[in-house]
Amino acid sequence: MSCGEPHETDCSEVLDHLYEFLDHEMPDSDCTKFEVHFEECSPCLEKYGLEQAVKKLVKRCCGSDDVPTDLRAKVMGRIDLIRSGHLVPEQDVTDMTDVTDVTATAQE
Q: pLDDT of 57-92, one tens digit each?
A: 888 887 777 778 899 899 888 888 888 887 766 655
Give dist(CA 107, CA 104) in Å, integer.
Answer: 5
d(CA 53, CA 102): 21
- CA–CA separation, 50 vs 28, rounded Å? 22
**pLDDT, position 95:** 52
- pLDDT of 22-62, one tens digit each? 999 999 999 999 999 999 999 999 999 999 999 898 888 87
pTM beyond 0.85: no
Distance of CA 22 to the CA centre of its chain: 8
Tell me which DSSP letter residue 84 carries: T
- pLDDT given for residue 58 in this prediction: 86
